[in-house]
Amino acid sequence: MPDKPALLLHDTLTRRPIPVTPADGKRLGFYGCGPTVYGPAHIGNFRTFIAQDVFRRVVELSGTPTLHVRNITDVDDKTIRDSVKAGQSLTDFTQHWTKLFHLDCAALNLLSPHVEPKATEHIPHQIKMIEDLIKRGHAYKAGDGSVYFRVASFADYGKLSHLEDRELRLGAAQGANDSDEYSKDALADFALWKAHKPEDGANAWDSPWGRGRPGWHLECSAMSLEYLGAEFDLHSGGIDLIFPHHENEIAQSCCATGGHFARHWMHIAHLMVDGGKMSKSLGNLYTLDDLKQRGFTPAEVRYVLVSGHYRGPLNFTLHSLDAARSALANLVKFEKVLRDKTGIMAPQSHDEFVRNGNAGIFEAAWLALLDDLNVPKALGCVFGVVNSTKVAGFSAADAKAALGSLHFILDAIGIVLPEIIAEKTVTVPDDIQQLAEQRWVAKQAKNWAAADELRKKLEAAGWVIKDTKDGFEVRPK
């Protein structure tokens, strides 16, 4: 592949754009922190997963295969608490929400990770890592049977989040009585293994330190090691995970393996709603189902979530979904005009266009994607091309090339055009059809008053008439 430009991606650690390349020169291994499955994921969660999805698509379309690992967190305080509340086993409870998560992912056109490991299925891996950390002097067992990571033992701690002298701040940040933390040597130390507590119920595993369960951060370290190795190409997640989650992962992994862990860090900014933060109490925390119930499609939701740069906050509003619908409709129209020009009547397989595709007339949009995944700029470029392209002068071959390029760029962003509305068959009730025909007759007779009267009647019934060259169409309003 001659001089394919690599994706330039901002790196959280060095705070500058760095070309994304696989260390082994073949396949790019990356880990994305997945959901904690204790309820429906909200659109803020999906903003992150969609950004990771676009990342993967761009890398793959630029010619580099990926190995995508995204975990399922199926054991932590909340999953335990809520499964107990629901009277279900932890497994049943988390499987339920995992299933729903997968449905949402599919609806939003997210590529499935190649590996999707669950925390509960990697307890031995996590125990092994704790043992290594104790052996190397980075962890210690506390009086209550919990095991903690000794932050002071890792000189690079804080490098990712750029937090300095954290110890000094901890007094202020720490709640007055945190009974969970009494046995730690230092406030900054964090749990690798949490000793069993009564409220954990049956959710405990045997370990060299007694029954208990792994700490949250550990699963990602253990599972990334298992599937990607001690060092891998990129790690990503929501911006809020920088500290402490990713900082702790780095500490654990580097100290346990002696490797350097992730080479590149990508973090996605938060989604805001109506100019403010999303929160349950404000009633502005939307799930995909919420929006579907309001009549919006997952494609529209994806369009909105992708329409702001991943490193900046994005303001979500219901109105933006309306805007997305119109914008998508315009893309559909453009696509149809091109398709008509090619003479291809039936919708072709999306893959067929993409497979041999290249950015072509959408080169500028593709370059925007390669420059730190600038999707909003790319979309601007796409519409610029759509507006300025005179398809009328195209040959069938031109149209086919343009069609392939359009699908290539849309595929990179993960946009799937909705079914063309005009092609949907709608059953028109007989009485409506009759009225429409009466109007047509009146129109032919140039009886405008009667024709308009009938049009009004139809509109009142919820139907709209559109005259065409040599006939008319009746459609639901």
Partner RNA sequence: GGCGAGGUAGCCAAGUGGUAAGGCAGGAGUCUGCAAAACUCCUAUGCGACGGUUCAAUUCCGUCCCUCGCCUCCA
Does residue 435 bind RNA (CB under 7 A)?
A: no
Closer Cβ to RNA, 22 or 284, answer by number: 284
Binding segment for RNA (CB under 7 A), chosen from 21-29, 83-91, 121-129, 166-174, is 166-174
Q: Name the residue nearer to RNA (CB basis): 45 or 342.
A: 45
* x-or-dash string of contact with RNA, 339-368, rule CB under 7 A: -----------------------------x
Under the criterion CB under 7 A, does residue 169 sit at the interface with RNA?
A: yes
Site string for RNA, 450-469 (x = CB under 7 A): -xx--x---------xxxx-
Binding of RNA at residue 145 (CB under 7 A)? no
Tell the smallest beta-carbon distance from residue 365 to RNA (Å): 10
Is residue 222 near RNA by the rule CB under 7 A? Answer: no
Interface pick for RNA out of 190, 227, 265, 408 (rule CB under 7 A): 190
Interface with RNA, residue 180, by CB under 7 A: yes
Of 299-338, which residues contact RNA (CB under 7 A)?
Answer: 307-309, 311-315, 317, 319-320, 322-324, 326-327, 330, 333
User: From residue 31 to residue 50, what is the string marking binding to RNA with x (rule CB under 7 A)?
Assistant: --x-xx-------xx-xx--
| Dist. CA 148–CA 146, nearest whole Å | 7
Stretch in the footprint of RNA (CB under 7 A) among 114-122, 158-166, 195-203, 429-437: 158-166
- Contact set for RNA, span 273-292 (CB under 7 A): 275-278
- Please check whether residue 130 is in contact with residue 76, taking contact to mean a CB–CB distance below 8 angstroms: no
Does 8 bind RNA (CB under 7 A)? Our answer is no
User: Which residue number, 61 or 324, has a Cβ lying nearer to RNA?
Assistant: 324
- Among residues 115, 380, 398, 457, which is the contact residue for RNA, using CB under 7 A? 380
What's the alpha-carbon Rg for the chain, to the nearest Å? Answer: 27
- Taking the CA atoms of residue 228, residue 231, residue 237 and residue 242 in that order, the dihedral angle to the nearest 10 degrees is 150
Pick one of 179, 293, 356, 387: the residue that binds RNA (CB under 7 A): 387
Ranges within 230-259 binding RNA (CB under 7 A):
237-244, 248
Closest approach of RNA to the CB of residue 35, in Å: 6
